[in-house]
Structure 1
């Protein structure tokens, strides 16, 4: 090796005086930027449920913040090293480039968070300018240096730096939010390819030519430089073909470009395999980089498969979301952490002993850390229960935090030792220790660490599964118990196998006969469009099966009639019940006797119905309905939901409204002292209010962060429901795009069956499309009326009450009587417009303002009444059927409190009540 990347070069032939070298100080300072971005990433990952654009934010903090800074810093270091110009990568110009880069990154991320497109544009230009300046500096460096064996590494860096401005430009264009058709999806894929495979991928490939053998502490394989030179044009050609296909052609024509890029990596990587065979990896740094490369290989394979298997770029954009974690956490983050763990001790210097000590500190428990990271990440990308995915995500975050702590401690310890040495208080030099016969990488220690890491992941998976109520055992007698409930049936030794198909929320057949004493095996095939399972009262169950999947339930020896059902919340109430009928023995304790004609649930000694997939059994403690007091006051500090209608955005031309709707399960108070676990869009019920004009385009990215399948149906758009309104499973996302062609107050809601239960549990909201030439008014409010069918405290809605249309609470904007306690305001003489949506799911609304009269009534897209007519008519109520919307306008003649209600008076007494306070 001719570079200064190896720890052995950290010490010269003569000892240096204590103290940090300028070069080491420079690297400490600039790498602190990378660590700060990683720390911010960890903080945002911890709080991502409470932040807008959380997924976008996490990806860009990691890639635009931490990784881009690391690429600029370390490509400069490597370029100077391989060209033997070690002092050229520091100083004011380099600091200015980093300052410009970070200012741009902050502007891009901040601009997206607050919706300032100009800030995104300025930030993108700053990032592009910083990286372009870095590329120019690399070109000048290459021209100034003497020919070197590994100068092709610098050419990789120059090519990568030339590509990033193009990727940044695509990102800025997408941030405008007014792209039509599938252009936005094409630009997104091209943007990701350029930035990930070009900017990051070329930099990593060029660096590993020299860094990989250095990590292995072996010589560079013969032909490595030739392979590097040959691979670069292949990589660039493949990337160009893939990007051109994304911008100009259908997805299958972009797949050869991805394959060509992968071929370029194979050309460059063959020497790396020979180096690994010559000396196997024995450190965290080397294994972390190797694991990252494996994740890249798998991701490229999946990407090529996605491109080949579809003709829609919108579908490609949706499906490639599954590659975010493998590429960001599996490939890029692991390569970055591996490189930092190797390079930071080198640049800190202090001699071979100091480098070894720092390396040991950073590699503490590395086999377990690597096992936890990669096993947890693998589970995150597999179709596992949502709680298991959450627990594994926490493990990944803990591993990142652990590395950051080790990194900070290593730097602090090294700094303290140098300061002591500088003051003449250096620790006495210890006697040489006897040579160790087995290092920290001894095989049994590595295997033990890996086993420990896998055990941690297995315990986490078990814990996540235990949290999922589906995994809790049902209390019931054995299936082999005879009808008398005392003895067990004599096994016959035979097995009865039946095939059951799920069609349209029904089991077919819904009942099967089995001879007493036979073992029963049920083979279940889900041909429906939603996730289902089959649970028997004994606790035997299948896994939850997504559409098209199959499962097997082994009921064991059967001696009595059994009842079964689908445990997905609400599906049992929709009629997804199943019966096992025993023949050849008396079965007085029949499934029909226990389930009743409606099949609404098994009974325990107290007569309480149980739905073991959710529904009424999920809460604990007292009934929430018993805790509801219409006269109760909220706690101090209560603030009602803001009912002011958000203003229109955009100009007169059609505007593109881009929003992310994340399905979340959130505990919320719906009345004083009454709490429910709601299914929500973005954490609130009702969900966000959207507003636009006729002709505006709405692009909604639906992300399912819940534990069961959900969907969304926007009444404001007219389009075939097959794809955009489909149910997506936990961890999945879809893009719903529609054009508002007609004005009105439109409802949106979850359309997953049973629809009534999903709406009743919080999954609804309003889209307001202004009628053309709508006059301005002094104040605008929006009120969404809905019902709550209370289950247990902190539980979900009671599906039986929903079916019976027996609400406990009726509320405006999701909280009973909230505007009695925190009134809406107006002034005398002001014109006030009140938009109202009756979200249901079952109750109509008759909106009325006590003491007020309406001179304008707009309902379901048309005016019933407008001011200025010769008849001087007025209106007292805006009557709306479920899912209907409209608005009324009024002026308040004098100061005072004007109650508003639904004039379905029993519903008003259940909480659909508020006050206008007029001054």
Structure 2
């Protein structure tokens, strides 16, 4: 049995290694957020469920563990080939212009087929085996296996990218409910019925089996109500489904409280599993609140995205790691001494690891500065990835213990682990807390501006109050930037071909808006040295006067770009400052008419740790952009840098036209009938997108380079009938 579990266990750890690699790479990996969740849930977690649900089924039905290994190996091979295709196809499709959706479709079908095969095999073994006390718990695994193929189908539909209006957000909620609460949640809760008292080394509490049997009817009903409410567009119904599922979780787990009272959890496996269940309950409450209190499906989808990490890492990751830390010594050790050696190895620094993981993860989801979130995230990665080297060390310890000759002339003695007092446990746990405190200090030291600026959890925005803006202005040697709200509406182009524009230092820079061949007469007033750069405009003449410099410029081709004017009081290479940088918009010939037209210029400041559209961070969260349904809207976007790429995204929107770099990347009449989700720009580049808003609601727009989105490059479009 041991070689089999070593081989299958290596599959789980291969997915975990890929997960940790993406976590270390951070946002340099394509769509790292999606990868983190799916490498853990679809990769490591689903493989663990496939392996151990079969193992527990054989155990509770009292069947031999060596039977039907070939079929199980075939299912694992089919599932992993499909899961790998989904991950690779989605990642490459996210970064490539070509379509990788057929790869995602094929991988999803392969994975779903393997799960259906697994569920049918479990049902066959359950029906053909002799009755046993815990045999009904196998129904949890069968019900779990019925959920994932449905969730995979919803995921494939979202990957196709053709869902209009609020359908993407609604599919996302249904997808998460069926996969996380159905496939993973049912399997975990069914396993804990027998595994939790076994891990605690205590007798099972009264009423556990009856509560589990009742919960098996309510839990799938909760999943069905959530998914049905989401697909039907009924947020209160979906929220009621979450509360129903939460009530069932409490019903199933309530008898286990007595077991924890009799034998408090002190080892890493029990503490990790207990922490995972706490995260499950907390995130279910947060999800219910977001569905009931959120204004629309787009907001609910964004809030679900912020809950994905607590669900995946807090709940699934910790329950998975706790269960593996307990089960691996059991199946690897052939002698009690070997099992105890492996258990002791996997329990090393257990309290510190659990405390560090949970404290750091809690800070990651709270409104803390971005730099602090990154350092706390590093603590989570380090504390959880410690399982991999500890597992290798446990395997080595197992082999060494089994190599020791057995003295058969003596009666075997049970080796008991040394008792650890409450004071020692508290001291070891405090090490994890100290690590998190040091991470917070390191985050503030890494980005001192974070010490006096708010930050928001992933997927939301930070509020910048006037005092914080004043401090940022005092830290900047440039004159104070005017922080009054900016109207994002793009000024229309008049009928004249000559445009007169005045630029005054210290005031918001005006937009140069015209057509190819138009002339701009630009007067730059104030303390400028005459060094202005106008991207995409030909300089016909420059005339210097005592208090101004006058430029005569000609627009060459259609597109969007920047002009920058240097303040004479600053250094020779110091261009920037949002009050000295303006946009140039030249309409390409034959530009289609739209109902409304807006301009967003993004600028970033690493010194301040902020990013902004039109100079003021988060201003369009407070002053929303209001449009009407069925209006076709054009949004011009310019990346002022100075050195950060921009990926403009409207949550719930679908771009029918994309123009960047002086050419159309997508038109409404394209033969592929394709749409786009982002407008990607390098520093200094500009372009525009056109999109309709067919349904009323609140649509968030942001820089999908999330560090900039979190720092203030974020806003809201409010659509009304």
TM-score, normalising length from structure 1? 0.54
* 2:171 equivalent in structure 1: 187
The aligned residue for residue 548 of structure 2 is none
Paired with 2:392 and 2:575, the residues of 1 have a C-alpha distance of 43
Q: Is the 8 A contact 1:368 1:451 kept in 2?
A: yes
Q: By how many angstroms is 1:249 displaced?
A: 3.0
Matched with 2:86 is 108
Q: Specify the alignment match of 1:867 in structure 2.
A: none
Deviation at 1:413, TM superposition (A): 3.0
Q: Among residues 23, 44, 50, which one is paired with 1:72 in the alignment?
A: 50
> Cα offset for 1:381?
0.8
* 2:6 equivalent to 1:34: no
| Alpha-carbon spacing, 1:230–1:356, altered in 2? closer, same or farther (3 Å) | same
CA positional deviation for 1:387: 1.2
Q: 2:110 is matched with which residue?
A: 126
Structure 2 counterpart of 1:660: none
Structure 1 residues 516-915: aligned runs within 5 Å: 530-532=463-465, 534=467, 544=468, 566=473, 573-575=480-482, 708-710=609-611, 726=621, 747-749=636-638, 762=644, 767=660, 768-769=663-664
Question: Higher helix share goes to which structure?
Answer: 2
Q: Of 53, 58, 62, which residue of structure 1 is paired with 2:40?
A: 62
Q: Structure 1 119/567 Cα, relative in aligned 2: closer, same or farther at 3 Å?
A: farther
Distance 1:157 1:770, change over 3 A: closer
Structure 1 residue 747: Cα displacement: 3.8
Change (3 A) 1:838 1:278: closer
1:445 aligns with 2:424: yes
> Residues 281 and 287 of structure 1 are in contact (CA less than 8 Å); yes or no, is this contact kept in structure 2?
yes
Cα distance, 1:372–1:430 mapped onto 2, change above 3 Å:
farther
**Aligned pairs (5 A) from 1:254-269:** 254-269=238-253
Counterparts of 1:56 and 1:136, CA distance in 2? 30
Shift of 1:772: 7.3
Instruction: Write out per-residue CA displacement over residues 795-851 of structure 1, whole angstroms, 9 at most, x where no aligned residue.
Output: xxxxxxxxxxxxxxxxxx759xxxxxxxxxxxxxxxxxxxx9699xxxxxxxxxxxx
**Which residue of the other structure, out of 9, 30, 36, is the alignment partner of 1:52?**
30
The answer to whether the 8 Å contact 2:79/2:115 transfers is yes
- Provide the aligned C-alpha RMSD in A: 4.4
Instruction: Give structure 2 stretches of 5+ with no counterpart.
Output: 94-99, 453-460, 485-504, 508-530, 532-572, 579-583, 585-590, 595-601, 648-658, 672-678, 691-721
Q: CA offset at residue 24 of structure 1?
A: 1.4
TM, length-normalised to structure 2: 0.68
| Residues 639-688 of structure 1 deviation map (CA, whole Å, 9 limit, x = unaligned) | xxxxxxxxxxxxxxxxxxxxxxxxxxxxxxxxxxx999999xxxxxx9xx
Question: Quick check: which has more Rg, 1 or 2?
Answer: 1
Distance of aligned partners of 1:318 and 1:571 in 2 relative to their CA distance in 1, 3 Å threshold: farther
The verdict on how the C-alpha distance between 1:122 and 1:432 changes in structure 2, with shifts beyond 3 A counting, is same
In 2, Cα distance between the equivalents of 1:287 and 1:53?
A: 32
The 1-side partners of 2:419 and 2:229 are apart by 49
Distance in 2, Cα, partners of 1:363 & 1:174: 41
**2: CA distance between counterparts of 1:694 and 1:209?**
63
Contact in 1 for aligned 2:339/2:398 (Cα 8 Å): no
Alpha carbons of structure 1 residues 764 and 401: separation in structure 2 relative to 1, 3 Å: closer
Is the CA contact 2:463–2:618 (under 8 Å) kept in the aligned structure 1?
Answer: no
SS across alignment from 2:163: coil
- Where 1:47 maps in the other structure, the secondary structure is helix
Q: 1:368 maps to what in 2?
A: 352
SS at match of 2:637: strand
Deviation at 1:530, TM superposition (A): 4.9
Distance 2:409 2:314 in 1: 41
Distance in 2 between residues matched to 1:675 and 1:342, nearest whole Å:
59
Structure 2 contact 637–687 (Cα < 8 Å) conserved: no
Distance 2:167 2:670 in 1: 35
Question: Could you say if the C-alpha distance between residues 400 and 124 of structure 1 is closer, same or farther in structure 2, counting changes exceeding 3 Å?
Answer: same
Distance 2:351 2:105 in 1: 44
Deviation beyond 6 Å, 4+ runs, structure 1: 427-438, 568-572, 674-679, 693-696, 704-707, 721-724, 736-740, 770-776
Whole-Å separation in 1 of the counterparts to 2:14 and 2:575: 39
One of 153, 168, 175 as aligned partner of 1:169: 153
Q: Does 1:468 align with 2:432?
A: no
**1:285 corresponds to which residue?**
269
- CA distance in 1 between counterparts of 2:628 and 2:169 reads 12
- Cα distance, 1:48 vs structure 2: 2.6
C-alpha distance after superposition, 1:742-801 (max 9, x if no partner): 99xx74147xxxxxxx6556566863546979999xxxxxxx9x9xxxxxxxxxxxxxxx
Is it true that 1:298 corresponds to 2:205 in the alignment? no
CA distance in 2, matches of 1:472, 1:723: 19
Equivalent pair of 2:269/2:323 in contact (CA under 8 Å): yes
Q: Tell me if structure 2 keeps the 8 A contact 1:288–1:338.
A: yes
Could you say if the C-alpha distance between residues 440 and 386 of structure 1 is closer, same or farther in structure 2, counting changes exceeding 3 Å?
farther
Partner Cα distance (2:309, 2:115) in 1 = 26
User: Deviations for 1:605-660, whole angstroms, at most 9, x for unmatched residues?
Assistant: xxxxxxxxxxxxxxxxxxxx9xxxxxxxxxxxxxxxxxxxxxxxxxxxxxxxxxxx
Per the alignment, residue 454 of structure 1 pairs with 433
**Contact 1:533 / 1:566 at 8 angstroms: preserved in 2?**
no
The separation in 2 between residues aligned to 1:774 and 1:101, in whole angstroms, is 39
The 2-side partners of 1:166 and 1:70 are apart by 19
Cα 1:739/1:112, change in 2 over 3 Å: farther
1:86 to 56, 64, 84: 64
8 Å Cα contact 1:529/1:727 also seen in 2: no
Which one has more relative contact order, counting CA pairs under 8 Å at least 6 apart? 2
**What is the aligned counterpart of 1:235 among 211, 219, 230?**
219
SS at match of 2:399: helix
1:213 equivalent to 2:212? Answer: no
Q: Distance between the aligned counterparts of 1:332 and 1:203, measured in 2? A: 11
Q: Alpha carbons of 1:232 and 1:722: their partners in 2 closer, same or farther (altered >3 Å)?
A: farther
Q: Closer, same or farther in 2 for the Cα pair 1:437/1:363, shift >3 Å? A: closer
Residue 290 of structure 1 and its aligned partner are, at CA, apart by: 0.4
CA contact (8 A) 2:82 2:107 kept: yes
The aligned length equals 549
Cα distance change of structure 1 residues 271 and 565 upon mapping to structure 2, 3 Å threshold: closer
Indicate the residue corresponding to 2:183 in structure 1. Answer: 199
Secondary structure of the residue aligned to 1:748 is strand
Distance in 1, matches of 2:239 and 2:343, equals 41
SS where residue 213 of structure 2 aligns?
helix
Q: Quickly say closer, same or farther: Cα 1:316–1:772, change in 2 above 3 A.
A: closer
- Matched with 2:229 is 245
User: Quick one: distance in 1 between partners of 2:322 and 2:387?
Assistant: 10
Structure 2 distance, partners of 1:771, 1:273, is 58
CA separation of 1:429 and 1:457: change in aligned 2, threshold 3 A: farther
